[in-house]
Structure 1
Amino acid sequence: MISNLLYKELRLAAHPNLYIFTLLGVLVIVPAYPYGMVFLFGCLAPFITFMYGRETNDIYYTSLLPVRKRDTVIAKFLLVILAQMTQLIISLPFAFLRVHVLPEGNPAGIEANVAYYGFGFMIYAIFNVIFLTVFFKTAYKVGKAFLLAVIPAALAVTVMEVIVHFPQFQWLDSVEPEMMLQQLPILILGILVYIIGMFAAYKVSANRFERVDL
């Protein structure tokens, strides 16, 4: 049932921009570019898709299907997770490539290194937890949910990009193997924050959506 709902999300509910923004993981190969923007695109894509769903009455349509409300929430969550994880996977080969093509580094901010991806998971988690829980409180107010979520996510991106310019945090900007090994705890922490955040957000969102009168 969940797989069928996810298939329906990908074929009917997903806005074309979801796929376009997912491909923007390749931006980590662009010289002198703030790579935190990749994560913001990963937040913007679900917003556009949810707004598209509101205009097409997707939630109402799904509620007419023989599925539980909780299954509708799961399908939306899986769509967001799939888009964001695909974006990260697409970016990985370009992150490896830029080390050889652009060895001078990224003067605009953090390098696409281990710490970068750890921070990325945290940024996604911040946005998803706020956006999804606020949205499923009404299953309609997409704009409010986005504004409440994107502000702290954008602040987190700003901190990530700025902090590496301070001498004591320059190890976060390195692509040297020994330094990236030192960055590994940030990646592990980011993954844990993302997983725990999504499970917590699902529980809150499902409970809220159960009380929504469609």
Structure 2
Amino acid sequence: MINLLRKEMKLSASVLSYLFIAFGLMFFLPGYPILCGVFFVTLGIFYSFQNSRETNDIIYSILLPIAKKDVVKAKFLFSCFIELCSFALMVAVTILRMTILSESSLYRNNALMNATPFALGMALVIFGLFNFIFIGGFFKTAYKFGKPFIIYIIAAFLTIGIGETLHHFPGLMMLNAFGFEHIILQLGLLGIGVLCYVLMTLLSYRNACERFEKIDL
């Protein structure tokens, strides 16, 4: 599996997947829907799947003396690696905004979503949707990815819209609390995001393995 993962990272991956990790730094931007950075990270992963298809990487992989489910596992591990690298940047930026930059008027006057544990939880939900909708959808055929990516785009931007809208409703302002205000609630919401990410990814992986086993390439 280690060698297969190396193959994914060195041969199959598009360089854009690595470059787009930096979009996690969009959590620094005030007055901008910061969750769009999550979408751009997944767009980078999409380019790796596109590159994989154009180079017949899937066919090459199944010709190796490995189980078909290992091909699926390698794709998921690579995708999760990129997602979590970018998520680590988001966490670092969020901590900076909650501490050192907590008194900055630039952020205190921000009408859009602040970098908070709730925002991190929403980021994980979007990553989970990508794994569930796009990667799971890709392995229905191991070739066609246009439809699942379009469905993912719709789901992702609906989620972004919900995240940006909720804190404007009366009684929900604590969702966008600044600094360490309502930190227990914020951490609870982050925990829910972690749970959603793990469940969607594992469910998608299981379904993808079952589907890929049935495909005759």
Range with bigger deviation, 24-33 or 49-58:
24-33
Query: Which AA in structure 2 matches 1:110?
Result: M
Report what 2:157 is aligned to.
154
Q: Is the 8 A contact 2:140 2:211 kept in 1?
A: yes
Separation of aligned partners in 1, 2:108 and 2:146: 37
Unaligned runs of 5+ in 2: none
Separation of aligned partners in 1, 2:113 and 2:172: 10
- SS of 2:108's equivalent in the other structure is coil
Change (3 A) 1:64 1:37: same
Report what 2:121 is aligned to.
118
Superposition misfits of 4+ residues, deviation over 4 angstroms: none
Range with bigger deviation, 153-162 or 167-176:
167-176
The yes-or-no answer on 1:73 pairing with 2:76 is: no
Report what 1:131 is aligned to.
134
Report what 1:21 is aligned to.
20
Range with bigger deviation, 77-86 or 125-134:
125-134
TM-score when scaled to structure 2?
Answer: 0.92
Deviation at 1:3, TM superposition (A): 1.2
Deviation at 1:106, TM superposition (A): 6.0
Separation of aligned partners in 1, 2:183 and 2:86: 21
Separation of aligned partners in 2, 1:209 and 1:57: 15
Deviation at 1:108, TM superposition (A): 4.8
- SS of 1:138's equivalent in the other structure is coil
Report what 1:5 is aligned to.
4
Separation of aligned partners in 1, 2:97 and 2:188: 23
Q: Is the 8 A contact 1:27 1:38 kept in 2?
A: yes
Aligned pairs (5 A) from 1:74-93: 74-93=73-92
Report what 2:54 is aligned to.
55
- SS of 2:172's equivalent in the other structure is helix
Q: Deviations over 1:16-57 (max 9, x none)?
A: 110111111111112322101111112212211101111111
The structure with more helix, counted as a fraction of residues: 1
Q: Is the 8 A contact 1:42 1:84 kept in 2?
A: yes
- Name the count of aligned residue pairs: 213
The yes-or-no answer on 1:185 pairing with 2:205 is: no
Report what 1:95 is aligned to.
94
Separation of aligned partners in 2, 1:74 and 1:175: 39
Query: Which AA in structure 1 matches 2:82?
Result: A
Pick from 203, 206, 209: which aligns with 1:203? 206
RMSD of the alignment, in Å? 1.5
Deviation at 1:176, TM superposition (A): 3.2
Change (3 A) 1:91 1:106: farther
Separation of aligned partners in 1, 2:131 and 2:161: 18
Change (3 A) 1:62 1:123: same
Q: Is the 8 A contact 2:30 2:112 kept in 1?
A: no
Deviation at 1:93, TM superposition (A): 2.2
Change (3 A) 1:152 1:106: farther
Q: Is the 8 A contact 1:113 1:180 kept in 2?
A: no
Separation of aligned partners in 1, 2:109 and 2:56: 43
Deviation at 1:209, TM superposition (A): 0.4
Aligned pairs (5 A) from 1:39-50: 39-50=38-49
Separation of aligned partners in 1, 2:149 and 2:109: 29
Query: Which AA in structure 2 matches 1:33?
Result: Y
Separation of aligned partners in 2, 1:28 and 1:130: 24
Unaligned runs of 5+ in 1: none
The yes-or-no answer on 1:176 pairing with 2:179 is: yes
Deviation at 1:175, TM superposition (A): 2.5
